Amino acid sequence: MPLSLKIAADIGGTFTDIVMLLADGTVAMRKVPSTPDDYGRGVVEGIQALVADLKLPASEISEVLHGCTVATNAILEKKGARTALLTTRGFRDVLEFRRIRVPRLYDPLYRKPEPLAPRNLRLEITERVAADGSIVTPLDEADVRRAIETLRREKVEAVAVCFLHSYANPAHERLVAEMLRRELPNVFVTLSVDVLPEIREYERTSTAVINAYVGPPVATYIRNLETSLKRAGIGAPLLVMQSSGGILDAATVTSTPARIIECGPAAGVIGAAYQAAVAGYANVIAFDMGGTTAKASLIEQGRISRTDEYEVGGGISLSSRLVKGGGYALKLPVIDISEVGAGGGSIVWFDKGGALKVGPESAGAVPGPACYDMGGTAATVTDANVVLGFLNPEALAGGTVPIKAQLSRDVIARNVAEPLGVSLHDAAWWVHVVADSNMMRAVKAVSTYRGRDPSDFVLMAFGGNGGIFAVELARQLQIKRVVVPPAAGVFSAVGLCVAEMQFSQSHAFLHRLSLLAPETINAALDGLAAAVLAKLQWSGKPARTHRTAAMRYVGQAFELPVDLPDRPITAADLRSLAAAFEQEHMRTYGHRSADGSDVEIVAIEIVAAVVEPDAARPQPHAAVPPALPLPGTRLAHFGPAGSHRTPVLRRAHLSERPTPGPLIIEEYEGTAVVPPGASAWLDHASDIIIDVGP
Amino acid sequence: MTRNISPFLLEVVKNALDTIADELAIIIMRTAYSSIVRDAMDYSTAICDAQGRTLAQGLTTPLHLGSFFDAMQNLIAVHGDRVRPGDIFIFNDPYLAAGQHLPDIYIVSPIFIGDTLEGWATTVAHHNDVGGIVPGSNSIGSTEIFQEGLRLPLLKLYDGGVENGAIWDIVAANVRVPDKVVGDIKAQIAACRVGEREFRALFGRYGAATLRDCFEEIHDYAERLARAEFRDIPDGTYRFTNHIDGIGENPEPIVFNVALTVKGDDIVIDWTGTSRQIKAGINSPVPFTKAAAYAALRAVVPSEVPNAQGFTRPITIIAPEGSIVNPTAPAACGARGITGFRMIDCLMGALAQAMPARIAADGNGGATIPSIGGFHERRPFVFVETMMGTWGGTATHDGQEGVAHIGANQSNIPIETIEAEYPLRVEQYALIPDSGGAGRFRGGLGIVRDFRLLADEAVITIRSDKRRFPPYGLFGGKAGTSSWNILNPEGPGRRILPVLLTQPVTLRKGDVYRHVLAGGGGYGPSLERDPELVRRDVILGKVSVAHARDAYGVAIVETTSGFVVDAAATAALRAQMATAA
């Protein structure tokens, strides 16, 4: 029996994916229907089913890894705790004002989302701390006691505390926490300084309120899931994915639940980074395309990009987008994923000026594309792909979703080809190309917008539709190689299996580099490191740390992360830090300050990760798939590259020698298209490698 | 449409151009130094064709829509054949360069493919200071543009790739915060360079002939889409009158009169009857007047009209020369933003008659802009904030609170950032109960903010409005409450300041400046408001029990289980109020 047997459960809207990574790297998988009344039930049933498939005793499982949607759903469905907020007197409406800017230009009918803590539960406390941490007005404890009475009377379940400048001096927040915990032991308490000790009051308040709001439902969910697992004979520890891509023990997650929001897409990127390392690629754009959206994320020198400018429930989140304010600001490290509304179900339509548009409206799972024959009357991207011959004309998803190809041809002819007076195949091809141009925006948002050249990267495509669009997308971006990893259709669950145990924390640290003494930053780093490492102590394993400083020219508002050496900082280090910052500024923005502008550190951050032995890091490879009939060949249409009778293969039919396109590689959970001019081969890590050609 | 451009290719190229324009905007946002650029996002970027017509705009400020067209036409007319690769132009002057006002500095660069000029990368950003008689360079009290700061006609900052150092020196010598202004100009240059690189890549992919056809088609498409939308607006002439309170201690109302005529798919906006230009810094150069019209019309049409020049073809604007909406030199215009907001508010009042379901009643009227400047610990500081905002009620919901004006999607500056960077303490930032205009759907509440000066001394100038003429209600809804500027509201030395200060006022250490933002207008008769919504407002502390009774005829009583509506008392009260009215 293997030393470590990890089983992962990733909850999606329709299916819960259960994946087990066996010690030899084999990915065993099982898709079970999600159970929205109690998602944990589907998880436990799925695990039991997979374990039974493999004839393993449940007691052999060493870790249960979980990507859960409970925190996100609590916000999207407004089903979080009854949440109160305590603020500095005069500032209870900061949460409601947000940053004033609205997410949509030119829309007088725009409506803001309701604050997660309603105004009558936002209570003001007399106290004031200045920007330098000095106390201007001492905390009025009588005020706090009155507030506690109100909270008791209003039966609140959670309370967030955010006082001005608490990142500089948390004394007042801590005093209030003591009183709250003493008087209201059953109320979930979140201090802003605990979740985000950084400057900018709205972002800190909002993050603290989100944490409080999702705290009770997350705690209940995790407690119930742990109980059900135990009852099913699975005594292994439950580990939960964070949106930063690291996994954490259930107890820590329960105290900082805001860290697990939107962790599903993060797991896919983690899987991509892991697989890239196995296959030997340092620079990768992870590209994940499913039914409604396409997502892109950058992996550079093996490192994942993170951002702290996330909004929950803000709709589709194009990284770096200009207009923010649509959702609830969450300023915690999340993997920087850019998303556009382009998936298999995206609907093709014409605007009033006659322009052809694809998405962001989606036909969803119901009625779905026209070819599903469930009443869909809109032409979708999947219908175009059926017309082009890229998708199996009989059934999708390894035969589980039967389709009627004629319905796709009818709808593309009726809705696209006839109004424009073009041939059916031209119409379908151009739908495909326009969808590609939408997705390009997602990829550019994480690459060129940040000063990176996509042609320095390979494109790793996963999700049900990733492999269909990847080559065309790569060609437009001058990317030369596409990688379709094994188990691409359940890749988030694979990512859970290979994720590291990780915790990160940043802290405000506003210092001009020219005035900074090494001992000042060393003391701050040591304090932060102790706090971060404490969160990983439960694992009983050694951990490594990675330290960065968020830096900018004095006067700028946005910071760039710069690596710090993992040892005590010397005066020489501080000097080279300025140069490192300037280099990063040059790389990202194409210029640096010529006049020797002073550089400052705004915050320091430490990421700590548990070091696993190599034996615990197998190379994932596809399990022998369920036997699928081999369709042989079919006619496929590649636009200007012509129509070709195209061989249809399985992954296992490829070899280390390149097979020239056109080819279609059909798998249980996804399809990869290799157009003419491109060629495909299999690398040592069972990736399909597509050299895109000219 | 003889051009052989498929709708698919058009969409693909359009997507690519939008992506470039956005990329430029992101570069400026992330590299800019001054808070007005980085937090207020008062800047725009565009990709133009060879004729200087906007193809795609990275919009962050709605009132910059169309702002490149007049300037680029002027530049091409003046420099014509002398434009060459490696040039970067700088300008800001409304009269000499068709700019907007002096703080808006344009940086634009031609893009050559081979020897042929194929397009332009263009940027405009509102700079913290360009000199003149007050910090921030937006003095209401200026009577001529000569008092407003550094005037830059069309100049080559780079001539064929060679930097003109003299211009940098002149700029740095004439502004109060040279590091920020120079840093922001450099951010604009960086954006132009990226624009050039990406535009070139596009030509590499599709070729010049195809793209030139595509560009023409983009303009035609934008025009088609705009016309399709305008056809849906009922024909007619819709008139509306709105005001700016006026200047200084004894303000004379400034009148905005608009007649908006929809005929088929053409729209004529006629400002005849609007006040003459005035000897104060709020005159709106005609490019800005056009931008206000474009912004208002875009806001009321449901389609995502692209920000391409063709969108403006169906729109004719009549702005009498010498009026406040088309001033002649040397009229001052540093603080003309307020006039842009008021033009939009006035146009919305007219459009409400044509499309009552597409607009909101009047809001707080755009940003109140205090500029507080002085020396602290022997270093100069200039604090400028854009304070917004609240909207009026609509046909379906209450006015939004904590939102930017439709004309300027600007952000607030975090209080903690203000206090970390300036000798100021913010002492409250809060909604004002009962300040929203009553209506079936209530106007949004006004917002109050207090600033205390921690430096020994400073001067303040303020641009605000809507005291005498508060935000209007629609279809029976009431106006919102008025705005106020108050010095030391709680203490000795209390003093009401004008809405538009012509002279800076000196602040001493410990003085408090309070701004009270106007409340939004209501929509529909207040007696038709659902009593449950009134009760909810009372619970949230947005409406008092007294105001619920007086303005809405809803009797709310507090019981042990909270606030409840007394249905019988409400019916009686409403019947009585209906009779009285």
One domain for residues B567 and B480: no
For strands B447-453 and B457-463, give the pairing.
Answer: unpaired
Distance from CA of B400 to the nearest CA of A (A): 7
Better-scored residue on pLDDT, A461 or B39? A461
Residue B391 forms part of a structural domain:
yes
**Chain B contact for A586 (CB, 8 A cutoff):** no
Q: Find the residue in B nearest to A447 (Cα).
A: B23
Q: Average pLDDT in the A124-152 region?
A: 97
Q: Is residue B374 part of a domain?
A: yes
Query: CA Rg, chain A, in Å?
Result: 26
**Domain count along chain B:** 3
Tell me, yes or no, whether B236 lies in a domain. no
Q: How many percent of chain A have pLDDT more than 70?
A: 93
Given an 8 Å threshold on Cβ–Cβ distance, is A556 in contact with B193?
Answer: no
Q: What is the pLDDT of residue A2?
A: 42
What pLDDT, on a 0 to 100 scale, did the predictor assign at position A598? Answer: 84
Q: In the block, which residue shows the tokens 């003459």?
A: B276
Give the DSSP letter string of A187-247. SEEEEHHHH--SS-HHHHHHHHHHHHHHHHHHHHHHHHHHHHHHHTT--SPEEEE-TTS-E
For residue A204, with 0-12 CB atoms within 10 Å meaning exposed, 13-18 middle and 19 or more buried, which class applies? buried
Phi, psi values for residue A267, rounded to 5° = -60, -35
Q: Under DSSP, is residue B411 helix (H, G, I), strand (E, B) or coil?
A: coil
B43-49 sheet: strands from edge to edge: B54-59, B43-49, B116-126, B104-113, B88-91, B155-159, B162-163
Distance from CA of B216 to the nearest CA of A (A): 14
Query: What is the reported pLDDT for A617?
Result: 67
* Residues within 8 A of A (CB atoms), B 2-31 only: 6-12, 14-16, 18-19, 22-23, 25-27, 29-31
Q: What is the dihedral of CA A416, A422, A423, A425, to 10 degrees?
A: -60
User: CA of A494, closest CA in chain B: separation in Å?
Assistant: 33
User: Taking a C-beta distance cutoff of 8 angstroms, is the pair A371, A393 a contact?
Assistant: no
Residue ranges of the alpha helices (H) in A241-296? 250-255, 263-279
User: Considering only CB atoms, which chain B residues are within 8 Å of A353?
Assistant: 221-222, 224-226, 228, 303, 305
Q: Omega into A367 within 30° of 0, i.e. cis? A: yes
The model's pLDDT over A575-625, given as tens digits with 9 standing for 90+, comes to 899 999 998 888 776 667 656 678 999 999 999 999 887 666 677 776 655
A108:B359 CB<8 A: yes
Same domain, B397 and B513: yes
Token code pair at residue A237: 């520890």
- Please state, in angstroms and rounded to a whole number, the distance separating the CA atoms of residues B312 and B222: 8
- Does A553 contact B at CB distance below 8 Å? yes
Binary contact (A352, B303; C-beta < 8 A): yes
Q: What does the DSSP assignment read for A509-534?
A: EEEEGGG--HHHHHHHHHHHHHHHHH
pLDDT band, residue A16 (cuts 50/70/90): confident
pLDDT at B29: 81
Do B166 and B220 have their domain in common? Answer: yes
For residue A314, is pLDDT > 90?
A: no
> Has residue B366 been placed in a domain?
yes
* Cα nearest neighbour of A449 on chain B: B23
Hey, where are the domains in chain A? 1-67, 76-218, 346-359+367-432, 502-611
Nearest by CB: B15 against A106, A353, A438: A438
pLDDT at A668 over 90: no
- List, as ranges, residues 305-334 from B with C-beta within 8 Å of A: 305
What does the pLDDT read at residue A205? 98
Give A431's contacts in chain B (Cβ within 8 Å): 8
CA distance B386 to chain A (A): 10
Task: Select the residue from A82, A96, A101 to test the B interface by mutation, using most B Cβ atoms within 10 A.
Answer: A101
Q: How confident is the model over A623-653, as pLDDT tens digits?
A: 655 555 666 899 999 999 999 999 999 888 8
Asked if A96 and B60 come within 8 Å (Cβ–Cβ), the reply is no
In a domain, B210, yes or no: yes
What's the pLDDT score for residue A58?
Answer: 85
CA B570 vs CA B97, B310, B544, B548, B555: distances in Å: 62, 54, 15, 10, 5
Class of domain A502-611: alpha beta
**Cβ-based contacts of B15 with chain A (< 8 Å):** 434, 437-438, 440-441
Per-residue pLDDT of chain B (581 residues; tens, 9 = 90+): 446 777 788 888 998 898 898 889 888 887 777 766 666 678 889 999 999 999 998 867 788 877 788 999 999 999 988 999 999 999 999 999 999 999 999 999 999 999 999 999 999 999 988 999 887 888 888 999 999 999 999 999 999 999 999 999 999 999 988 888 998 999 999 999 999 999 998 999 899 999 999 999 999 999 999 999 999 999 999 999 999 999 999 999 999 999 999 999 999 999 999 999 999 999 999 999 999 999 999 999 988 888 899 999 999 999 999 999 999 999 999 999 999 999 999 999 999 999 999 999 999 999 999 989 899 988 888 888 889 999 999 999 999 999 999 998 888 989 999 999 899 999 999 999 999 999 999 999 999 999 999 999 999 989 999 999 999 999 999 999 999 999 999 988 999 999 999 888 999 999 999 999 999 999 999 999 999 999 999 999 999 999 999 999 999 999 988 999 999 999 999 999 999 87
A440 CB neighbours in chain B (<8 A) are 15-16, 19
- ipTM > 0.90 (yes/no): yes
Q: How far is A458 from chain B (nearest CA, A)?
A: 20
Do B30 and B79 belong to one domain? yes
What is the distance in angstroms between the Cα of B533 and the nearest Cα belonging to chain A? 15
Q: Domain spanning A76-218 has what CATH number?
A: 3.40.1360
Q: Does the beta carbon of B231 lie under 8 angstroms from any beta carbon of chain A?
A: no
Instruction: Assess if residue B314 is contained within a domain.
Output: no
Taking domain A1-67, whether its CATH number is 3.30.420.40 is answered by yes
Q: What percent of chain A has pLDDT over 90?
A: 58
Report angle CA A166, A167, A169 to the nearest 5 degrees.
60
Which pLDDT score is estimated for B539? 98
Q: What are the residues facing B563 on neighbouring strands?
A: B558
Helix (H, G, I), strand (E, B) or coil at B410: coil
Q: In a mutagenesis test of the A interface, which of B4, B22, B305, B348 is the best target, namely the one with the most A β-carbons within 10 Å?
A: B22
Domain boundary among B224, B244, B262: B224
Q: Which domain holds residue B534?
A: 530-580
> Both tokens of residue A389?
């011959």
- The Cα–Cα gap between A82 and A80 comes to 7
The answer to whether residues A291 and A383 touch, using CB atoms and an 8 Å cutoff, is no
* Phi–psi pair at A680, nearest 5 degrees: -125, 145
Residue A164 forms contact with B (CB below 8 Å) = yes
Cβ contacts of A593 on chain B, cutoff 8 Å: 183, 186
Please give the model's pTM, rounded to 2 decimal places: 0.92
pLDDT given for residue B128 in this prediction: 84
User: Does A95 or B29 have the greater pLDDT score?
Assistant: A95
The continuous run of DSSP H or E covering A320 comes out as: none
- Of the listed ranges A154-168, A516-530, A539-553, B528-542, the least confidently predicted one is A539-553
Query: Of A225-234, A304-313, B559-568, which range is least confident?
Result: A304-313
N-to-C CA span, chain A = 48
- Which phi-psi region, left, alpha or beta, contains residue A478 (left: φ > 0; alpha: ψ -120 to 50)? left
Chain A residues inside the 8 Å CB shell of B30? 558, 588-589
Determine the residue among A93, A552, A595 to mutate to test chain B binding: the one whose Cβ has the most chain B Cβ atoms within 10 Å: A93
Cα–Cα distance, A75 to A328 (Å, whole number): 9
Residue B389 in contact with partner chain A when CB distance is under 8 A: yes
B542 half-sphere exposure, CB direction, 13 A CA radius? 24
Which among B224, B247, B266 is the end of a domain?
Answer: B224
Looking at the complex, does the CB of residue A496 fall below 8 Å from at least one CB of chain B?
no
Residues B394 and B428 placed together within one structural domain of the fold: yes
Looking at residue A308, its pLDDT comes to 74
A106-122 per-position pLDDT tens digit: 899 999 999 999 999 99
Do B496 and B441 belong to one domain? yes
A contacts of B33 (beta carbons < 8 Å): 553, 555-556
* Residue B416 contacts A, CB cutoff 8 Å: yes
- Positions of E strands within B432-494: 447-453, 457-463, 484-487
Same domain, B127 and B168: yes
**Cis? peptide before A662, omega within 30° of 0:** yes
SS3 at position B356: coil
Minimum-distance CB partner of B194 among A321, A556, A590: A590
> Would you state the pLDDT for residue A1?
38
Cα–Cα dist B548/B534, whole Å: 7
Q: Which of B47, B154, B417 is nearest to A559 (CA)?
A: B417
Kindly state whether A120 is in contact with chain B, defined as any CB-CB distance less than 8 angstroms. Answer: yes
In the A/B pair of chains, how many CB contacts fall below 8 A? 224
Same domain? For B560 and B506 the reply is: no
B558 and B423 in one domain? Answer: no
Task: Give the position of tokens 């700028």.
Answer: A556
User: Closest Cα partner for B93 from B79, B82, B107, B105?
Assistant: B105
The closest of A479, A529, A469, A459 to A342, measured between CA atoms, is A469
Query: Both B483 and B561 in a single domain?
Result: no
Q: A422 and chain B: CB distance < 8 Å anywhere?
A: yes
B 541-560: CB under 8 A from A: 541-542
How many CB atoms are closer than 10 A to CB B193? 17
Contact yes or no for B153/B218 (Cβ under 8 A): no
Cβ contact, residue pair B222, A94, below 8 Å: no
- Asked whether B23 and B177 are in contact (CB, 8 A), the reply is no
Q: Distance (Å, rounded) from C-alpha A305 to C-alpha A470?
A: 21
How far from each other are the two terminal CA atoms of chain B, in whole angstroms?
58
Answer with the one of B196, B224, B252 that is the final residue of a domain: B224
The confidence score (pLDDT) of residue B434 equals: 98
The answer to whether A121 contacts chain B (CB < 8 Å) is no
* Short-list A94, A110, A463, CA closest to A315: A110
B542 and B435 share a domain? Answer: no
Tell me: do B521 and B559 sit in the same domain: no
The alpha-carbon gap from B540 to the nearest alpha carbon of chain A, in Å, equals 5
- In DSSP terms, A83 is beta-bridged to A158
The verdict on a CB contact (< 8 Å) between A200 and B416 is yes
